[in-house]
Amino acid sequence: MATIRDVAKRAGVAPITVSRVINNSGYVNEQTRARVEAAIADLGYVPNVLARSLRSRRTGTLGLILTDISNPFWTTVARGVEDAASDAGFNVILCNTDESEIEQDKYLHVLMQKQVDGVLLVPASSAVEPVKFIQSQNTPVVVLDRRIPNSQTDVVRCDSEDGAYQLTRLLLALGHRRIAMLSGPRGVSTAEDRVSGYRRALQEAGVAVDTTLVFYGKFSLESGYSMTQQALTVTPRPSALFASNNFIAIGALRALRDAGLRVPEDLALVGFDDLPAALVVDPFLTVAAQPAYEMGRQATELLLARLSGEAPPAYQEIILPTEIVTRQSSGQILEQQGG
Amino acid sequence: MATIRDVAKRAGVAPITVSRVINNSGYVNEQTRARVEAAIADLGYVPNVLARSLRSRRTGTLGLILTDISNPFWTTVARGVEDAASDAGFNVILCNTDESEIEQDKYLHVLMQKQVDGVLLVPASSAVEPVKFIQSQNTPVVVLDRRIPNSQTDVVRCDSEDGAYQLTRLLLALGHRRIAMLSGPRGVSTAEDRVSGYRRALQEAGVAVDTTLVFYGKFSLESGYSMTQQALTVTPRPSALFASNNFIAIGALRALRDAGLRVPEDLALVGFDDLPAALVVDPFLTVAAQPAYEMGRQATELLLARLSGEAPPAYQEIILPTEIVTRQSSGQILEQQGG
DNA sequence: CGTTTTCCTGGTACGCTTACCATATTACAA
DNA sequence: TTGTAATATGGTAAGCGTACCAGGAAAACG
């Protein structure tokens, strides 16, 4: 457990010179450097980053708080974050809240205690306090994926409203009029925005929004399953389902299978968020795909720009487009149904 | 960015008293405590764990170095580690080496720099240097899953030799005589031990070990795929395959499917490591299941015992048993083959 | 040749918290 | 009354690097 002072003594230099060798900063004579490096090797010296960070006030670490690490969408976002951070020499501490504000709060404190240089936050709710808390610690924060109304902060997200609008129009164009919306939680902007887009498309098409067809649940397989069961009991039965995220879609698929219904023959199904090609044997879901990796990357780059003072002073809101990927699950144009 | 001094000043006490309040250590008068807590709330004070750890020489963090985080087996091990650590108030830094010694070396340095209190290491090779390096930094280490010959260290692992022996006996009992071994890398103890167990079972049964049926590759799907392709070209063709881990088994399944062969009708298949129930629609692989979660947990508990000085002075080697789970893939008793 | 710039090295103090030691008051038994 | 233990609080230094400020030597420049 040698310290920088031990190395300095052995190499016959001052600690600061050792520091310069380690960090490649300032001027060091080649021979001096060699002596120092030999001393480092001899003593098996490993710098103490705690001391370094304490003094330099930089930890080279970012915090990433997200809501469900078991979802491939978030894994992909995380990889984008990780890659961008790594390119800039930063580490990432990953925190999983499971959509719980209490967990989120706990992790925020942990990250502040650990003196992370910046935070990427997928907020569990639309509350402004978490963002204000981070900012009160003089730590830059970028909000990811979701909006927080009335907050002053950088945001990188996708256009959920537009994606849902387009997906719904696609179903309408195929002749569907009774489309059940299996949404995520109220109070989460992505869930709300997707309902808004769905509504707008219906209204534009002159289809009245039947509120008994709009279900709010969680972004989970179980919730997708039960919302689907409920949707199937509504009369007249919907001819299409809109799953607000990928897990809800999988839950819906299971519920439909258990109900003996085929997709798309008996019901059409579309969803938000694609699944990674590696995880699916035979992709057949029609989806609005969000550029998850790119979202993570751009958010991180924005955060790093803030850290280095390169970002423009005004808060940014970067909105990435979704891409409609049409596959089998949305089905063909419906034949004229008897009234 | 208030410091402990700011809080102390506001509460009219010394910094050390604030420290006692935060850490619930030593004596603090109830009224003093209340004043301090009020000051903390007023200032939005968050302790700096860098400074804390620098002084206390404890970070409350463990390092976990493993070889393939994409493999459910390791995810399960990691969860065992995480749970045990969390129970004791420790954090875990997870490092993924992809079986690369260079990556492993990099991560070891990072962990030492971060002053982790202990390391759980799944070594990428049988080299003793990594273990010695950690020990040279006065950091306890527990080696996980694999043996390192000639090393002085704690080890928690499974009985790969015995598991392989039993799996092979099962195939022998079903009448198989030509069993291809699709192994992991040479130099990795689990891979070698499984080959040993396989050999022992064959020899006990009086079946000569045909070295053209023993393949060494990687613990990956791709490797399993190509080893299977090779195994199918051997004449006479093996009647059973032994996959040395779960990814190799999946690769083998794909290769067999692509070759138009059915399991178990055309070939029997057994493997090491089960897959989590949640990931498999219809479990049908016969496997030697290792108690992955328990391995992670016990290794962590041993490490924590070392940290607290509770562990017995001598290095421990904890060997957990594997469990043979018989399903369809191993098939029925072979009918008498003409020959 | 004097001056500026580049190169190279060091001293001191500081970042923030806690370990260690010391002090003081109250409580209670001897 | 004195001694001992429990309660309560503080001073000082240390943990380990680096920021900041300085200084001197060599090289480049006018």
Q: Which two tokens stand for residue B187?
A: 């130099």
User: In this complex, is the C-beta atom of A254 within 8 Å of any C-beta atom belonging to chain B?
Assistant: no
Q: Quote the pTM value.
A: 0.89
| Nucleotides in chain C near protein beta carbons (<7 Å) | 7-12, 14-20
Inter-chain residue contact A137 with B51, CB threshold 8 Å:
no
Is residue A58 within 8 angstroms of chain B, CB to CB?
no
Q: Do B137 and A50 touch (CB under 8 A)?
A: no
| Residue A194 neighbours by CB under 8 Å, 6+ apart | A160, A161, A163, A164, A181, A183, A184, A242, A244, A272
Question: How far in angstroms lies nucleotide C22's C1' from the CA of residue B14?
Answer: 15
Residues of A in contact with B137 (CB under 8 A): 1, 44, 46
Determine the distance between B90 (CA) and C23 (C1') in angstroms. 36
CA-based nearest residue in chain A for residue B91: A110
The predicted pLDDT at position B95 comes to 94
User: Nearest nucleotide (C1') to the CA of residue A14?
Assistant: C10
Q: Which domains does chain B have, with CATH numbers?
A: 4-47 (1.10.260.40), 59-158+292-319 (3.40.50.2300), 160-290+324-330 (3.40.50.2300)
In tens, the pLDDT along B272-312 reads 999 876 666 567 899 999 999 999 999 999 999 999 988 88
Distance set, CA B45 to CA A55, A153, B48, B128, B325 (Å): 19, 22, 9, 45, 54
> Protein A297 CA to nucleic acid D12 C1', in Å?
48
Residues of chain A below pLDDT 50: 338-339
**Does the C-beta of A48 come within 7 A of strand C?**
no
**Closest nucleotide to the alpha carbon of A113, via C1':** C16
B154-158 β-sheet, strand order: B91-96, B61-66, B118-121, B141-144, B154-158, B317-320
Residues of A in contact with B109 (CB under 8 A): 46
Tokens 């990428």, residue located: B124
On whether the CB atoms of residues B197 and B205 are closer than 8 A, the answer is no
A75 at B interface, C-beta within 8 A:
no
Q: A92: helix, coil or strand? A: strand
- Nearest residue to A242 via CA among A263, A265, A270, A273: A270
The encoded tokens of residue B285 equal 């692989």
Contact of A280 with chain B, judged by CB distance below 8 Å, is answered with: no
- The answer, for A61 touching chain B at a CB cutoff of 8 Å, is no
Q: Which nucleotide is nearest to B56 (CA to C1')?
A: C18
Distance from CA(B17) to C1'(D7), angstroms, rounded: 14
Distance in Å, alpha carbon of B94 to nearest chain A alpha carbon: 10
Residue A53 — φ and ψ, nearest 5°?
-70, -35
| Three-class SS of A10-47 | HHCCCHHHHHHHHHCCCCCCHHHHHHHHHHHHHHCCCC
Structure-derived torsion over alpha carbons of residues B198, B202, B204, B209, reported in degrees to the nearest 10: -110
User: B114, A50: Cβ pair inside 8 Å?
Assistant: yes
Chain B residues with CB-CB distance to A103 below 8 A: none
Å separating the CA of residue B32 from the C1' of nucleotide C19: 22
Nearest neighbour of A1 by CB, restricted to B50, B113, B138: B138
**A46 chain-B contacts, CB cut-off 8 A:** 109, 112-113, 137
C-alpha B217/C-alpha B222 separation (Å) is 9
Q: Which residue does chain B place closest to A92, by CA atoms?
A: B93
Would the CB atoms of B46 and A137 count as touching at under 8 Å? yes
Tens-digit pLDDT string for chain B (339 aa):
799 999 999 999 999 999 999 999 889 999 999 999 999 999 999 999 999 999 999 999 999 999 998 888 999 999 999 999 999 999 999 999 999 999 999 999 999 999 999 999 999 999 999 999 999 999 999 999 999 999 999 999 999 999 999 999 999 999 999 999 999 999 999 999 999 999 999 999 999 999 999 999 999 999 999 999 999 999 999 999 999 999 999 999 999 999 999 999 999 999 999 987 666 656 789 999 999 999 999 999 999 999 998 888 899 999 999 999 999 999 988 765 543
User: CA A2, C1' D15: Å apart?
Assistant: 13
Q: Which of A46, A114, A133 sits opposite B112 (nearest CB)?
A: A46
Nearest nucleotide (CA of A33 to C1') = C8
Cβ contact A54–B59 (<8 Å): no
B48 in A contact zone (CB under 8 Å): yes
Quick one: DSSP state of residue A277?
A: G
Which of B44, B46, B136 has the CB atom closest to A113's CB atom?
B46
Nucleotides, chain D, CB distance < 7 Å? 7-12, 14-20
Name chain A contacts of B49, Cβ cutoff 8 Å.
113-115
Contact between chains at A51 and B54 (C-beta distance less than 8 A): yes
Distance, Å, B13 CA → C21 C1': 19
Output phi, psi for B121, to 5 deg.
-120, 125
Q: Which amino acid is at A291?
A: P
Task: Give nearest nucleotide to B33 (CA–C1').
Answer: D8
Contacts of range A90-93, beta carbons closer than 8 Å, 24 or more positions apart: A90/A60, A90/A61, A90/A62, A90/A117, A90/A304, A91/A60, A91/A61, A91/A62, A92/A61, A92/A62, A92/A63, A92/A64, A93/A61, A93/A62, A93/A63, A93/A64
